[in-house]
Amino acid sequence: MAAAFVGSAALGAAFGQVFEVLYETVKVVTKKTATANAALERLKSTLDSLDPVVKATQQLNRGMGRPEDDIKHLIEQMKNGQELVRKYSNVPFWKFCVRYDYGDEVCQLEKALLGFFNLNARALSLKNEMEILKEVNHLRSQMSSVRMNSGISCAVPGPPDFPVGLDASLKELKMLLQKEEVSVLVLTAPGGCGKTALVTMLCQDEEIKGAYKDNILFVSVSKSPNLKVIVRNLFCRKVAREPEFQSDEEAINQLQQLLNQIKQENPILLILDDVWPGSESLLDKFKFPIPNYKILVTSRTAFPRFSSRYQLKPLNEEDAMKLFRHSAILEDGSQEIPNEDIINTIVKCCGGFPIALIVIGRSLCGESPVTWCNKLKDWSSGHSILECDDDDLLLCLQRSLEFSDKKIKSKYGVIMKECFVDLGSFPEDQKIRVGALIDMWAELYELDEDGSIIEISNRNLATFFMICWLGFVIFLLLASYCHLLILILLVMKITQYCWNKEELEFSISIYVGFSRRDASEVDSYYNGDFVLQHDLLRELAIHESSQETIDQRKKLIVEVSANNLPKWWKAPKQQPISAHLLSISTDEMFSSSWCNIQAPEVEVLVLNFQGKKYTLPEFVENMDKLKALIVTNYGFFHAELNNFHLLASVPYLKKIRLQKVSIHSLCNTPVKLMSLEKISLFMCNIGQMFRNCTIPISDCLPRLREINIDYCKDLVELPPDLCDIVGLEKLSITNCHMLSALPEGIGKLRNLKVLRLSSCTDLSELPESTRGLYNLSILDISGCLGISKLPKHIGELCNLTELNIEGCMRLRYPLPPSTMDLNKLKLVICDEERAKLWEPIKEVRQQLKIKVAKTDINLNWLTNRF
């Protein structure tokens, strides 16, 4: 009631003044008159309650200029009331009749005041609300007119208040935009990296402003774009009218006509800011065959269909420090500056993300050094930097996880988000092998393709690196073109990059991108490729996985420092966990002293460690639903893996992936893995693994379908018994430089579809028994420098569709005559010299495609890692 009275602003200045005089009169009278009756006391109590309301309303009236004539009658009553109270106070107490009459008039005055507040004020409030609504509508109409004539909705926003670290990016972006062949340029980065800030700086650049003049059009697209609204706003920017469109097609047609008109003045730059995934079709609608017309798109998604892209990277250490100090106001001397080590550590936690630096700096601004220390302790003891008091950082990054929208199937979107969260299962600042992710996702989500990797990369939630073989010959070519000093520096950088000298030997060049160089057109192979995840995005992944209690989480990520297991793990009455994915990471101080854990639902177990010895935890043998085991050693030396026999008790284990471990014997102490379908060994010591077997390998691995062996330096020969696994469909042995020969019995693998022997440089020939691989569809011997001829009876590979002989430098002999019998061969990948050998065959077999591999030598990967 009182609020309505205040909100109505119906009381004028005169009412306030008269009320104040009446109030003071009543207070004086009641104070001096010891025999004041109940009527006067009630009036004083009523005035006490109304006094603050009247004063507040009087202040509002001064600003609003409201009329006073609505309440003249009440003002007159209050003026009469002042005289009434004075007279009442002068009446002797023995004149009962006179006092009764005056008391009755005092009651009438109180009723008038209460009646005004109960009824009149409400009516006046409604009246004034209607008047305000009328004024708002008038103001809205005026604003619409201003928008039509000034083009505010498509005007370029002002530049950032404190631009830092964007100068180099601005220069590179401008150079890309100015290229004649570029019509659509996508500026991409995770949320909070400063894409819009960079674009506004570009628009303020004198060279850009001079080129485009008044023809820079800026549109914020956002999540749910309305094409007709966007086009209408563009019209308002250039013409003094607001058109109406019956359909999207009509809007686009009229926009094209408008752009054709205005391009006669100057070139046109259309900026579509904050374009969400699934909006490629929207971008296509704005592409017109108009000379000097360019589109600049900012998005969290890379939109790989558009070839011209610029990825904005996080700030470097120096620029990050500048932005953080500015946000925390550490330079003006108004607060005590914390220890520099604390500042440096906090800045590092922010990972170069401008949004993180601004939010965290702002949250610590003005706080004492003790508060800074406490925050840092929280972040160092398992709390996330995302758990700061300000939600802006978390909300900004979480927007990047909205995979599901109207143009993408919701189930697909949910799976993509789950795939991103799974990246948190691997240690910070470490390579995540793509092969491991594919094994994981195949079991968790039944994914049979690797598109999820590309999708996550396109969203800038991780960076996908493709490692391609170049070989020692390319290294020598580099030596012939590079100055010796530059070559030495290059070798030093590569040595730092690679894990050890074995990987250095033939990983001379790394290509970064989303299209594989000379990739198979039939089979995707990612065994050597990896993903890197930004530290802050990893924190986001872990945060998203930890929203439930420990026992309810579907993904449980545990990081153990030394032997400090989490409290819940050491609890005497531990509840079973319901996680389907369990990741446990330990450091080099961990002594493999495991406590028991009940994890009956785990389907994928990821074990990350550092050290020379590692023991599989005893609780693994009770994981009845375990389907995939991924064990990764991130230490410098190989580690001896113990308790391998526990896996024999896991009934449904289908995939095993081991990295940088030593398995001395798989068969001396027989470990029968009855359900195992795929085994991947990366940089492992396996030379003794199959020797002196007491039982046939085919009995240990009866259902094995795929073997991947990569960078296993001590592999000299394959055991002959391996050829008895007749169900084997894929055999990949790559970068094993000491492998000199294949077993003669390899022809017994009648179900083999893929044989990949890439970069096995000591391999001199393929045995003639390969003629028996009737189901082989892919044969890859790229980089096998020792092979000088193809098998004589290669033509008997009646289902061969793809042959990769890139880098087989010694392969100069004429092709075997039986090559003409390869009726299903569709693709041969080779270099230019080897391509000439296939020209006679191509004349006969028109469906055959000869793909000449191009040597793409670049050092772009150095800028991504050093």
Neighbouring C-beta atoms of residue 619, cutoff 10 Å = 17
Q: Would you tell me how many other CB atoms lie within 10 Å of the CB of residue 308?
A: 16
Which of these ranges, 218-222, 364-368, 502-506, has the smallest mean pLDDT? 502-506
Q: Is 486 inside any structural domain?
A: yes
Q: How many percent of the chain have pLDDT more than 90? A: 22
Q: Is residue 852 part of a domain?
A: yes
Q: Which two tokens stand for residue 100?
A: 């009764």
Q: What is the pLDDT of residue 509?
A: 29
CATH number where 222 lies: 3.40.50.300
- The pLDDT score that the predictor gives to residue 824 is 92
Q: What pLDDT shows up at residue 161?
A: 78
Q: Judge whether residue 583 has pLDDT over 60.
A: yes
Give the confidence band of 506 by pLDDT, cuts at 50, 70, 90: very low
Burial of 392 from C-beta contacts in 10 A (0-12 / 13-18 / 19+) = middle
Domain count of the chain?
6
Helix, strand, coil shares, percent, the chain, to 5: 45, 15, 40
Q: Which of 698, 661, 654, 645 is nearest to 676 (CA)?
A: 654
Retrieve residue 694's tokens.
């007491």
pLDDT tens, position by position, 683-722: 998 877 766 667 788 888 899 999 999 999 888 888 888 8
pLDDT at position 724 over 80:
yes
Per-residue pLDDT, 96: 52
Among 281, 311, 341, where does a domain finish? 311
Q: Which pLDDT tens digit goes with each residue over 776-813? A: 999 999 999 899 899 999 999 999 999 999 988 888 87
504, 652: one domain:
no
Rounded percentage of the chain residues whose pLDDT exceeds 70: 68
Q: Residue 400 is which amino acid?
A: S
325's tokens:
């100090």
Q: Which residue has the tokens 């509840």?
A: 575
Distances from the Cα of 664 to the Cα of 224, 452, 477, 644, 680, angstroms: 58, 35, 39, 11, 16
CA distances from 595 to 51, 286, 491, 616 (A): 71, 61, 45, 12
The torsion angles phi and psi of 706, rounded to 5 degrees, stand at: -145, 135
Average pLDDT, integer, range 369-397: 73
Q: Which residue has the tokens 């193809």?
A: 790
Same domain, 432 and 473: yes
Q: How are beta strands 661-662 and 639-642 bridged, if at all?
A: parallel
Write down how long the chain is. Answer: 866
Structural tokens at position 862: 């150095």
In a domain, 654, yes or no: yes
Burial 551-568 (b: 16+ CB within 10 A, else e): eebebbbbbbeeeebeee
**Residues 6 or more apart whose Cβ sits within 8 Å of residue 827:** 521, 522, 801, 802, 803, 848, 849, 851
Given a cut of 90, is residue 579 above it in pLDDT? yes
According to the model, what pLDDT value does residue 345 have?
85
Helix axes 38-64 and 72-90, enclosed angle (nearest 10): 150
Q: Is residue 536 part of a domain?
A: no
Q: Which domain holds residue 326?
A: 320-396
In a domain, 721, yes or no: no
Q: Are residues 101 and 175 in the same domain?
A: no
User: Cα–Cα–Cα angle for 691, 692, 697, nearest 5°?
Assistant: 70
Sheet containing 184-188: give its strands across: 216-222, 268-275, 293-299, 184-188, 309-311
CB 601 within 8 A of CB 623: no
Residue 78 pLDDT class (50, 70, 90 cuts): low
Q: Are residues 98 and 52 in the same domain?
A: yes
CB within 8 Å of 602: residues ≥ 6 apart: 577, 579, 580, 581, 582, 623, 625, 626
Asked if pLDDT for residue 482 goes beyond 50, the answer is no
Q: Any alpha helices (H) in 329-366, and if so which ranges?
A: 340-349, 354-364
In this model, does residue 669 exceed pLDDT 80? no
Is the per-residue pLDDT at 85 higher than 80?
Answer: no
Closest CA to 292 of 157, 179, 214, 397: 179
The residue with greater pLDDT, 119 or 6, is 119
Average pLDDT over residues 504-522: 38
pLDDT band at residue 469 using 50, 70 and 90 as cut-offs: very low
One domain for residues 489 and 620: no
Residue 449 pLDDT: 54
Statement to judge: residues 110 and 207 lie in one domain: no
Beta bridge partners of 532: 463
Q: 702 and 794: one domain?
A: no
Q: Are strands 510-512 and 463-467 parallel, antiparallel or unpaired?
A: antiparallel
Q: Name the residue type at position 656.
A: I
Residue corresponding to tokens 């990741």: 583
| Rounded CA separation 469/488 (Å) | 20
Mean pLDDT lowest among 405-414, 451-460, 726-735, 829-838:
405-414
Q: What pLDDT was estimated at residue 385?
A: 73
Report the mean per-residue pLDDT for the chain: 76
Q: Is this structure's pTM higher than 0.85?
A: no
pLDDT tens-digit readout, 552-564: 999 999 999 888 8
Mean pLDDT within 509-533: 54
The predicted-structure confidence for 88-128, as pLDDT tens digits, reads as follows: 666 665 555 555 555 666 676 666 666 665 655 555 555 55
Shared-domain flag, residues 456 and 521: yes
Whether residue 30 is found in the same domain as residue 120: yes
- Look at residue 411 and tell me whether its pLDDT is greater than 90: no
Residues 800 and 777: their CA atoms lie apart, in Å, by 4
Tokens matching residue 218: 């800026």
DSSP 372: H
Q: Which of 587, 650, 583 is nearest to 618 (CA)?
A: 650
Mean pLDDT of 143-159: 52
pLDDT digits (tens, 9 = 90+) for 733-755: 999 999 999 999 999 999 999 99
Q: What is the pLDDT of residues 280-323, one digit of tens each?
A: 788 888 888 888 899 999 988 888 788 888 988 888 889 888 88
Q: Which of 311, 341, 365 is the last residue of a domain?
A: 311
Over residues 554-583, the mean pLDDT reads 88
CA distance 270 to 293: 8
CATH number of the domain where residue 623 is located: 3.80.10
Please report the pLDDT score of residue 585 as a whole number.
93
Per-residue pLDDT at 839: 87
Residue located via tokens 């929208």: 405
Those residues with Cβ within 8 angstroms of residue 566's Cβ, 6 or more apart along the chain or in another chain: 558, 560
Give dist(CA 766, CA 742) in Å, integer.
Answer: 7
Bridge partners, 731 (sequence order): 707, 755
Q: Minimum mean pLDDT among 470-474, 755-759, 837-841: which range?
A: 470-474
Mapped to the 3 state alphabet, what secondary structure does 172-217 carry? HHHHHHCCCCCCEEEEECCCCCCHHHHHHHHHHCHHHHHHHCCCEE
649 secondary structure, DSSP code: G
Q: Which two tokens stand for residue 688?
A: 């003794």
pLDDT reading at 625 higher than 90? yes
pLDDT at 213 over 90: no
| Residue 730 within any structural domain of the chain | no
Residue 722 within a domain? no
DSSP 8-state symbol, 600: T
pLDDT value, residue 517: 41
pLDDT for the residue numbered 381 = 65
Identify whether residues 422 and 514 lie together within a single domain.
yes
Looking at residue 823, which CATH number applies to its domain?
Answer: 3.80.10.10
Residue type, 749: L
Is 726 contained in some domain?
no
Q: In angstroms, rounded to a whole number, what is the distance separating the alpha carbons of residues 335 and 535?
A: 30
* Amino acid in position 495: T
Whether residue 138 is found in the same domain as residue 109: yes
Q: Which residues contact 680 (CB under 8 A, 6 or more apart)?
A: 435, 436, 439, 527, 655, 656, 657, 658, 707, 708, 709, 710
Q: Which amino acid is at 203?
A: C
704 and 557 assigned to the same domain: yes
As to burial, measured by CB atoms within 10 angstroms (0-12 exposed, 13-18 middle, 19+ buried), residue 217 is buried
